[in-house]
Amino acid sequence: MKVTVSRKAHFNAAHRLYRKDWSFEKNDETFGKCNNPNFHGHNYELIASVTGEIDPETGYVIDMKVLKDIIKNEVEDAFDHKNLNLEVPEFKDLNPTAENIVVVIYNKMKSKLASNLELEITLYETLRNFVSYSGN
């Protein structure tokens, strides 16, 4: 029987949505106020959900402390109070949209999990705007 366990986390980060190969006008038309050359910030909320079989010895799918530590090391330490465009290497040449951020977080976390565990990341950029990714 498979069970999903989830943990919430939070980080604050600034970004600018734009393409270096587009004119300011085209970026402004496409990304609007998110194209602000001085950047803008979000209070991101994250839900990391891990699905797998319950270990008959521990009763866990994953030790929540292990999940907490993965989130801290791979997400919070890497992204919190950072300018994603300027300080996070994964976004040097990747537009830090919510869609791209959730895929980057998934890839960073998935590599730290046992291969038999499934992962889904839900990332809230605002209370009403959120994205999910599970590797598909």
Question: What tens digit of pLDDT does each residue of 9-19 get?
Answer: 999 999 999 99
What's the rounded Cα separation, in Å, for the pair 37 and 43? 19
Residues 51-92: tens digit of each pLDDT:
999 999 999 999 999 999 999 999 999 999 999 999 999 999
Residues 6+ apart with CB under 8 A from 18: 27, 31, 35, 95
Residues with catalytic roles: 34, 81, 125
What is the Cα 127 distance to its own chain's centre? 15
Indicate the residue type of 27. N
